[in-house]
Amino acid sequence: MENFTPVEALIGGAMIGLGALILLVFYGRIAGISGIARSALFTRDGRSWRLAFLAGIVAGPILLGAILTDFSYSTPQLSWQVIVAGLLVGAGTGWGSGCTSGHGICGVSRLSPRSVTATVLFMLSGMLVATLLH
Partner 1 sequence: MPIIVAFIAGLLMSAGIAYSQMIDPNKVLGFLTLNANWDPSLILVMAAALAVYSSGYWLVIGKGKPVFAQSFSLPNKKELDKPLIIGALVFGAGWGLVGYCPGPALAAISSGSYGTLAFIAAMAAGWYISLQLTK
- Of residues 13-32, those binding partner 1 (CB under 8 A): 13-31
Smallest gap from Cβ 24 to partner 1, in A, equals: 7
Spatial contact of 106 and 36, defined as CB atoms under 8 Å apart: no
> Of 58 and 69, which has the nearer Cβ to partner 1?
58
Neighbours of 108 (CB within 10 A): 15
Q: Is 69 helix (H, G, I), strand (E, B) or coil?
A: coil
- Residue pair 106/30 in contact by the 8 Å Cβ criterion: yes
By CB under 8 A, is residue 70 in contact with partner 1? no
* CA–CA dist 78, 99 (Å, integer): 23
What H or E segment, with its residue span, contains residue 11? Answer: helix 6-27
Binding of partner 1 by 118 (CB under 8 A): yes
- Those residues whose C-beta lies under 8 Å from the C-beta of residue 20, and which sit 6 or more positions away, are 31, 101, 105, 106
Taking CB under 8 A as the criterion, the residue among 45, 66, 70, 78 binding partner 1 is 78
Query: Within positions 26 to 65, which residues make up the interface with partner 1, using CB under 8 A?
Result: 26-31, 33-34, 37-38, 41-42, 48-50, 52-64
Q: How far is the CB of 65 from partner 1 (least distance, A)?
A: 8
Comparison of 69 and 95: residue with beta carbon closer to partner 1: 95
134 in contact with partner 1 (CB under 8 A): yes
